[in-house]
Amino acid sequence: MIPAAFDYVRASSLAQAIELLRDNPDGAKLLAGGHTLLPALKLRLASPELLIDIGGISEIKGIEVGETHVKIGALTTHAELLASEPLNQIFPVFREAANVLADPQVRNRGTIGGSLANADPAADWPAVVLALRAEIEIAGAAGRRTVPAEDFFVDIFTTALEPDEVLAAIRIPRPKPGTRYTYRKIRHPASGFAVVGVAAGVQMQGDIVADVSIGITGAANHAFVGRAASDFLIGKALSQDNIGEAAKMVGDITECLSDRYAPAEYRADLIRIELGRALLALSS
Ligand SMILES: Cc1cc2nc3c(=O)[nH]c(=O)nc-3n(C[C@H](O)[C@H](O)[C@H](O)COP(=O)(O)OP(=O)(O)OC[C@H]3O[C@@H](n4cnc5c(N)ncnc54)[C@H](O)[C@@H]3O)c2cc1C
């Protein structure tokens, strides 16, 4: 398939990209890695008049490890997240998740910012940033703002981004001592996307759960926090019974997507099973 005709500008700064978005409120699209947008153009699912290539904007590239936070530029590729030693020393969950995301070709071009901004209900990073309690840094014509990941994913392919805004970075608080994270995914056999993906973090104090965070993708219209399970587990032992009860709570209350491959009841079961397995892995 051949895309509809469009104009193309390679933005040299964030300010220029924002100005172009502001001047073309209905007809412009940002281009990052292109691994979602280009197929959409070819299939004519999107036909913007202007493509604003942000791939060369150095301000939104790279990984910074700070005293209190880790900051990941929106243009950081999946492959860079997989390979970064400083990042994975603190959050090995990035390697775990990037390893099961697509294939090396997609990982070399696709960006975490593009994935989060696109908000595909089956994408992997949304679950991870929710479990990490990340904040999304957004730059727009009205200035900068920060949105907790939990409020960023609004609906299917819909986020808190306004049309004239760019996702600039992901800011993650350093983990509290003793916190461990994991990501588990049931891959769709054809697309490789998550039928259900679960990211979880657990902080233990002795035998008692001091904190839990859970992000779930693939199951519903958008990635969400498994709050019922966290509320239930905090202050309890991470026993098989408690894990089973917590996982059941999230599966029971989630309104799941349904398709020919995975009906809603099956997805709800996968939440129960995969969340249970993730918590069990963090209990040992
Ligand atoms: C074969 C294949 C397999 C895949 N498998 C998986 C998988 O298993 N798991 C998974 O999670 N993903 C998967 N993906 C998607 C892949 O991760 C994409 O790279 C990602 O979803 C989009 O990132 P991108 O940088 O390519 O964005 P682009 O395609 O350039 O853009 C995607 C959308 O986000 C917008 N956008 C991009 N960057 C920004 C920004 N900084 N601010 C605001 N808006 C922005 C664009 O305007 C566009 O609407 C797969 C893709 C392919 C082609």
79-96 pLDDT, tens digit each: 999 999 999 999 999 999
Class of residue 62 by CB neighbours under 10 A (exposed 0-12, middle 13-18, buried 19+): middle
Residue 217 beta carbon below 6 angstroms from any ligand 1 atom: no
Written as six digits, the tokens of 38 are: 């280009």
Residue 166 beta carbon below 6 angstroms from any ligand 1 atom: yes
**Closest residue by Cα to residue 20 from 141, 115, 114, 116:** 141
| Strand, coil or helix: 70 | strand
Specify whether the CB–CB gap between 150 and 166 falls below 8 A: no
Domains and their CATH numbers in the chain: 7-53 (3.30.43.10), 58-173 (3.30.465.10), 179-283 (3.30.390.50)
Q: What is the reported pLDDT for 25?
A: 84
User: Residue 232: phi, psi to the nearest 5?
Assistant: -70, -40
- DSSP for residue 122: T
Residue 91 beta carbon below 6 angstroms from any ligand 1 atom: no
Q: What is the reported pLDDT for 281?
A: 97
Q: Tell me the C-alpha distance between 43 and 258, whole Å.
A: 24
Pocket test for ligand 1, best of 115, 144, 170 (most atoms within 8 A of CB): 115
Q: Tell me the C-alpha distance between 135 and 143, whole Å.
A: 16
Specify whether the CB–CB gap between 202 and 283 falls below 8 A: yes
Specify whether the CB–CB gap between 72 and 63 falls below 8 A: yes
Specify whether the CB–CB gap between 175 and 201 falls below 8 A: yes
CB hemisphere CA count around 187 (13 angstroms)? 10
Q: What is the reported pLDDT for 183?
A: 98
Residue 72 beta carbon below 6 angstroms from any ligand 1 atom: no
User: Residue 276: phi, psi to the nearest 5?
Assistant: -60, -45
Q: What is the reported pLDDT for 1?
A: 81
Which stretches of the chain drop beneath a pLDDT of 70?
none
Which residues are within 8 A (CB) of 22 and not within 5 positions of it... i.e. 6 or more apart? 141, 164
Q: What is the reported pLDDT for 28?
A: 96
Distance, CA of 268 to chain centre: 20
Q: Token pair 């995969």 is at which residue?
A: 274
Residue 41 beta carbon below 6 angstroms from any ligand 1 atom: no
Q: What is the reported pLDDT for 232?
A: 98
- DSSP for residue 143: E
Q: What is the reported pLDDT for 284?
A: 82
**Closest residue by Cα to residue 241 from 271, 194, 276:** 276
DSSP states along 179-217 = EEEEEEEEE-TTT-SEEEEEEEEEEEETTEEEEEEEEEE
Written as six digits, the tokens of 26 are: 């209905």
CB atoms within 10 A of CB 145: 14
Tell me the pLDDT tens digit for each residue of 192-206. 999 999 999 999 999
How far is ligand 1, taken at its centre, from the CA of residue 120, in Å?
A: 8
Specify whether the CB–CB gap between 139 and 13 falls below 8 A: no
Atom of ligand 1 nearest to the CA of 78: 17
